[in-house]
Amino acid sequence: MVFKCQEDSFLTEFRSRVVSCEPGGTGYQVIFEDTVLFPEGGGQPTDHGWVDDLPVKSVIRKGPTAIHFVEGTSAPFQPGQEVRQRQHSGQHLITAIFDREFGVNTKSWWLGTEDSYVDLDTKDVTREQLDKVERICNQLIVDCTAVSVAVYQPDDPALKSDVTRATRGLPEDVSGPLRVVTIDGIESNMCCGTHVRNLAQLQAIKFLNVEKGKAKCLVHFLVGGRVLRKLTECYDREVQFNGLLNGGAPSHVDLLRKLQTTVRSVQKSSRKMSSELAQLEADKINQAPDPKPKFYTVHRTDGPDSDYINVFLRCVKLPECFLFVTNAADDTGKGAGQMALQGRPEDIAALGDPICALLEGKGNGKGPRYNAKVNKLKAIDQCRKLIEEHFRDAEAEK
């Protein structure tokens, strides 16, 4: 069946009659005699619209029938009831030009809500090929190349002579009259999707990136108003970078590279100083006069990239001393951080899980070490009290 949306892709309103209305999912599946809402298929996503005052969430095609999914808790329509119902050409053009110029076939395509892509039957697409196809497509748009749609019966002898390219992607269960979409002087192809009347209505085509993978080469592209929206988005971002980098667009790449070099240098110096501080802190404990402390706590805000905890625990040479060390990204106590315990296995077994729970963390311990990622570092004082009580009770039992 050829739907009204295929006869006239620019029709936005249409009066039809309800054929059936059955429960399905979280609403109802409604079939009308005809529809201006395109049912998902052939790589083209579903249209969205309204039936009277009810939103149509999606439309799918089953054989010659378009099924509309309408949300609701009770049947919105009755059979026989009259109701009023309220983008693919670019892909055809791109596919045809890649085929004509380079003999590259399109295996599949996707028309997304932000951008679209064609999956080309080749391992690679060069920048020169992209530029050539883009240039030809946009010249055809400037030339106002006509697009026409003809409808044939499946047994019409004129059908084969009219179609110059394979019916790639035409669903197997399509029945009834067949539509042939012709881009004047470029191609004719069977298609069940909606199309413009003239390539000028595409406004422009712009290729984005090429996504390479095993047995696939996806060429992402924009058509029409999306090109202008992407240009606006890129320019707005450029203006923000001008202020943040204190330089114009031509210098952005150089400025960012210099910034990255500076950041790496600062991070390297920071890690070195953090390690030196950890070693100094450990030396302070090692050189403490007798009696040596039963426990020792250290709390840092050097950030997740710091190696303070590991260096500190490695440099302390007091196996009988219980060590409680934390490291956070800031000193607010609200963010996530790291925690480590080191000491006698019996002390780790007694204190590891309770301390981890107070800090709302997740971790585990074995023998003389316990490690965890924690989320509530403001509970450190409670942990310290817990440690003090543990060793006070242990001393009292002697």
Q: What is the DSSP string of 168-194?
A: TT--TT--SSEEEEEETTTEEEE--S-
**Residue 30: its pLDDT value, please?**
86
Phi, psi (rounded to 5 degrees) for 336: -80, 165
d(CA 240, CA 125): 33
- Token output for 370: 């316990």
Compute the distance between CA of residue 235 and CA of residue 278 in angstroms, rounded to an integer. 47
Q: How far apart are CA 369 and CA 136, in angstroms?
A: 67
Q: Provide the pLDDT for residue 303.
A: 78
d(C-alpha 105, C-alpha 235), whole Å: 34
Per-residue pLDDT at 277 = 93
Which pTM value belongs to this model?
0.64
Task: Domain ranges for the chain, please list them.
Answer: 4-85, 89-236, 275-396
Please tell me the predicted confidence (pLDDT) of residue 40. Answer: 82
pLDDT tens figures, 315-350: 999 999 999 999 987 777 677 899 999 999 999 999
Placement of tokens 């925690």 in the chain: 339
The torsion angles phi and psi of 60, rounded to 5 degrees, stand at: -125, 155
The CATH number assigned to the domain with range 89-236 reads: 3.30.980.10
Question: Considering only the top CATH level, what class is 4-85?
Answer: mainly beta
Among candidate residues 283, 284, 398, 294, the one with its CA nearest the CA of residue 344: 294
pLDDT attached to residue 383: 95
Which portions of the chain are predicted below pLDDT 70? 1-2, 4-5, 7-14, 42-43, 50, 52-53, 73, 80-87, 158-176, 193-194, 305, 333, 398
**Angle (CA) 365 371 376, round 5°:** 120
Angle between helices 345-358 and 380-396 (to 10 degrees): 150
Q: Class of the 275-396 domain?
A: alpha beta
Omega within 30 of 0 (cis) for the link into 39: no
Residue 33 DSSP SS3: coil
Do residues 271 and 303 lie in contact, with contact meaning Cβ atoms separated by under 8 Å?
A: no
Q: Give the per-residue pLDDT at 13.
A: 61
pLDDT at 161: 58
Taking the C-alpha atoms of residue 134 and residue 125, their distance in angstroms, rounded to an integer, is 13
DSSP 129: H
Q: What are phi and psi of 125, to 5 degrees?
A: -130, 125
The enclosing H or E element of 62 equals: strand 54-62
Q: What confidence score (pLDDT) does residue 86 get?
A: 39
Residue 370: phi, psi to the nearest 5? -140, 130
pLDDT at residue number 87:
55
